[in-house]
Amino acid sequence: MADRRSWSRSFAALVHPRAVTMLFLGFSAGLPLLLIFGTLSVWLREAGVERATITFFSWAAIGFSFKFVWAPLVDRLPIPWLTAALGRRRAWLLSAQFAVVAALLWTSSFDPQVSLTMTAVGALAIGFTAATQDIVIDAYRIESAEPDLQSLLAAMYIAGYRLAMIVAGAGSLWLAHLWGDGGYQFEVWSQVYRVMALAMLVGIATTLIISEPTTRDTAAGVFRSTADYVRFLVAFALAALTFVFVFLESSVPAGTLREVLSAVAAGLAGFVAESVRFVTAAAAAALVAWGAMKVGLVSKSHVRATYVDPIADFVARYGKTAILLIVLIGTYRIADIVMGAIANVFYLDQGYDKSQIATYSKFWGLWATIAGGFAGGVLAMRYGVHRALFLGAALAAASNLLFAYLAVQAPAAWLLGAVVVADNLSAGLAGAAFVAFLSSLTNVSFTAMQYALFTSIMLLFPKVLAGYSGTIVDSIGYPFFFIGTAILGIPVLALVWLAGRLVPDPMMAPGEESSAPRGMERSSTG
């Protein structure tokens, strides 16, 4: 019998100091996101920027998809003076937060009507610095509390993140409306972004107040001199720039390949084309890194300690089960991500107006996600992560059937609200349980790298498949599309069940991990 907490103890854990900390750090993480998506799009449109150009700004968030590329630096590289004063995690976190503030202030200083390029630079800087902050917060969360608290820490993080999205989304638009006179005024939008930069003080103050996690500093001894440190940074910058350049420029051959293969299957063609594009960019970056090692710019031992060891550690701890875990990670969110890509278009096609969509999808849906996150955290503590993970996957798939029902009904505001709330509750529950599960798979000697890699894998295949949801809907219609996304969730349930038999639940008592294969315990020292 697993070690169960009582309901009262499970709910009481919500006010654990580490849980409260994650509420504020979640706010700090969620604030920059909409400032390079929805809010910035409104600003650019008011400034007269063309729609086609505005959509290019979505590339500013590319850093969130490739966090694993520089996550090892967060694990391995110290920040001069700050690391000695604050500790490894807090030093990186404070630096990233001040960098977000600087990027917001930069963006607020340029009128897109006059210097759109400078606005684009600001958006890219916000995306990169915000992604770096995410890396550090994830690592801090995992290292700062025991595995049995991870689900509730994830729930508090989600709550703070969503509250920040209200501030950065609805809040910033409300301020722009309050301070403006109906026409475009650069000074108004500049002031809005300065206020958002000021709101980052929530995260900065939290970082200065909290304590450093008590884990072994794995960065010690890796870089024995300033020259080693600088050479590694130069090599990393060259490889990273090569990856970004090749990835963006390879869109033309990828598009050609898609056209060639589209006669076979549009979805498969797109997936193959994007995979070739990614592999090409990664190969080019690896070639540059290899060249840097050959000319002596960086040593093999540094590269191995920074990039190879985290992956080798995961494979060594889980053996053949690592393949199962990677497949589970890459498919767990598939049902809701594929469906969510076309949700707003579906609402409009069904006859709901923008006001109804905003009320039920953006407002009530957001609060439902927060409630679902808390429910997932409490259920994981009470019944174990694996059971919560299975329930979340089942509800995420089942909620898509509600959209199939909605697709064949006449528009009704109450029905839209009920379906949206149910869907977001299930997504929040599944999200909190899944974050706790991913956290349990990491080794705190390589926290940032391993968790960033997991989250990148989590989004890769579902996001690629979601890009073709519109084409699928055009072919089979909304009802069958939503039923199909629900069916996609069935294999995930089997994967969760199998993983539950092979990997120990972090909520189980130590004496009950004997049913899991030897060597599969979560390491704390590496």
Q: What is the CA radius of gyration of the chain?
A: 23
pLDDT of residue 180: 81
Residue 339, domain member (yes or no):
yes
Residues 149 and 84 both lie in one domain: yes
What pLDDT band is residue 464 in, cutting at 50, 70 and 90?
low
Among residues 91, 314, 119, 106, the alpha carbon closest in space to that of 219 is found at: 91
Residue 523, domain member (yes or no):
no
Residues 166 and 194 both lie in one domain: yes
Residues 173 and 25 both lie in one domain: yes
pTM, to two decimals: 0.73
Question: Could you say which of 251, 274, 298 is where a domain stops?
Answer: 298
pLDDT tens, 354-364? Answer: 677 767 776 78
Rounded to the nearest angstrom, the gap between the alpha carbon of residue 289 and the centroid of all alpha carbons in its chain is 26
The answer on pLDDT for 35 being more than 70 is yes
Residue 477, domain member (yes or no):
yes
The answer on pLDDT for 4 being more than 60 is no
Residues 30 and 144 both lie in one domain: yes
Query: DSSP string of 142-178?
Result: HHHS-GGGHHHHHHHHHHHHHHHHHIIIIIHHHHHHH
Residues 266 and 369 both lie in one domain: no
Residue 304, domain member (yes or no):
no
Residues 454 and 344 both lie in one domain: yes
pLDDT tens, 68-94? Answer: 777 877 877 788 889 888 988 899 999
Mean pLDDT of 456-464: 76
CB neighbour class for 354 (10 Å; exposed up to 12, middle 13-18, buried from 19): exposed
pLDDT of residue 268: 54
CB neighbour class for 57 (10 Å; exposed up to 12, middle 13-18, buried from 19): buried
The answer on pLDDT for 29 being more than 90 is yes
What's the per-residue H, E or C state across 61-92? HHHHHCHHHHHHHHHHCCCCCHHHHHCHHHHH
What pLDDT band is residue 526 in, cutting at 50, 70 and 90?
very low
The answer on pLDDT for 61 being more than 50 is yes
Question: Could you say which of 175, 209, 243 is where a domain stops?
Answer: 209
The answer on pLDDT for 476 being more than 80 is yes
Q: 359 is in which domain, residue-wise?
A: 313-515
pLDDT of residue 354: 64
Q: What CA–CA distances, in Å, run from 19 to 15, 266, 306, 331?
A: 6, 45, 30, 28
pLDDT of residue 56: 63
Mean pLDDT of 6-14: 55
Average pLDDT score over the chain: 79
Residue with tokens 């996150």: 373
Question: Are 289 and 303 within 8 A, CB to CB?
Answer: yes
Higher-confidence residue of 54 and 371: namely: 371
Residues 387 and 348 both lie in one domain: yes
Residue 525, domain member (yes or no):
no
pLDDT of residue 493: 93
Among residues 214, 236, 222, the alpha carbon closest in space to that of 90 is found at: 214
Q: For residue 324, what is the domain's CATH number?
A: 1.20.1250.20
Cβ-Cβ contacts under 8 Å for 234 (sequence gap 6 or more): 292, 297, 298
Q: What CA–CA distances, in Å, run from 453 to 203, 311, 483?
A: 24, 9, 30
Residues 47 and 90 both lie in one domain: yes
The tally of CA atoms less than 13 A away on the side-chain side of residue 441 is 34
Residues 364 and 230 both lie in one domain: no
Question: Are 421 and 364 within 8 A, CB to CB?
Answer: yes
pLDDT of residue 5: 56
pLDDT tens, 412-430? Answer: 888 988 998 999 899 888 8
Among residues 373, 76, 380, 377, the alpha carbon closest in space to that of 228 is found at: 76
What is the Cα–Cα distance from 110 to 88, expressed in whole angstroms? 34
pLDDT tens, 311-363? Answer: 888 889 988 899 999 999 988 988 888 887 677 778 878 888 767 776 777 67
Residues 234 and 177 both lie in one domain: no
Q: Helix (H, G, I), strand (E, B), or coil: what is residue 123? A: helix
Residue 476, domain member (yes or no):
yes
pLDDT of residue 402: 92
Mean pLDDT of 16-36: 86
Residues 332 and 412 both lie in one domain: yes
Rounded to the nearest angstrom, the gap between the alpha carbon of residue 407 and the centroid of all alpha carbons in its chain is 30
Domain count, the chain: 3
Residue 480, domain member (yes or no):
yes
The answer on pLDDT for 103 being more than 90 is yes
Q: How many percent of the chain have pLDDT more than 70?
A: 79
Residues 13 and 161 both lie in one domain: yes
Among residues 466, 215, 235, the alpha carbon closest in space to that of 336 is found at: 466
Task: Please state, as a whole number, how many other Cβ atoms lie within 10 Å of the Cβ of residue 524.
Answer: 11
pLDDT tens, 162-216? Answer: 889 888 887 888 888 888 877 788 999 999 999 999 999 999 999 999 988 876 5
Q: How many percent of the chain have pLDDT more than 90?
A: 18
Residue 483, domain member (yes or no):
yes
What is the Cα–Cα distance from 91 to 364, expressed in whole angstroms? 37
pLDDT of residue 515: 38
pLDDT of residue 68: 76
pLDDT of residue 260: 47
Question: Could you say which of 209, 240, 273 is where a domain stops?
Answer: 209
